Amino acid sequence: MSETKSETINKNHPRNKTALRGFLLRLHFYAGIFVGPFIFIAALTGMLYVLTPQLERALYADALFADSSGKAQSLTAQAEAAKAYLPADLDISAVRPATDPNGTTRIMFSNPSLGPSENRTIFVDPVTLQINGDMTTYGTSGILQFRIALDYLHRNLLLGEAGRFLQ
């Protein structure tokens, strides 16, 4: 069965091409409206992630830095000071000595009440053995709370596994 001339003309009619073009433009517009906010959040959190070291130094200066100067006491003494500070008997999972001259030592304890890979971290002044901070950190590198929240926001919009499907 062959096509008639009138059927060929109707398929190639300019009105049919404009309708398809209009549909595709509208589809593209709505896809942009739906996807745009996710791209914006990913870009914003990615930029903040790059600035995290500077932001954490400002946010957690009290815990990360000490005002004392002098010879640092042994890591054993620092760990004992951190253990004495805790009300419960927790096991030490990692010790991160101060890298800056005025920095504090991070003594990390595994705590069964925390999530996987989370530690309770005590920040100890290496010279005076004073406790400068107590917070939950992630992993043995001691990732601080701001970076943890930023990571979860970037990874899953703070929505858990459902958020991963949106990203």
* Inside any domain, residue 9: no
* Inside any domain, residue 96: yes
pLDDT 10s digits, 68-81? 988 999 999 999 99
pLDDT 10s digits, 36-49? 888 898 899 889 99
How far apart (Å, rounded) are the C-alpha atoms in residues 111 and 87?
Answer: 12
How far apart (Å, rounded) are the C-alpha atoms in residues 158 and 10?
Answer: 52
* Inside any domain, residue 70: yes
Can you read off the two tokens belonging to residue 138? 């992630």
> By residue range, what is the domain housing residue 131?
52-151
* Inside any domain, residue 20: no
* Inside any domain, residue 140: yes
* Inside any domain, residue 39: no
Question: Quick one: pLDDT at residue 161?
Answer: 72
Threshold 0.95, pTM exceeds: no
Question: Quick one: pLDDT at residue 12?
Answer: 61
- Indicate the DSSP class of residue 100: S
DSSP strand E in the chain: where?
A: 91-96, 105-110, 118-124, 131-138
* Inside any domain, residue 47: no
How many independent structural domains does the chain possess? 1
* Inside any domain, residue 124: yes
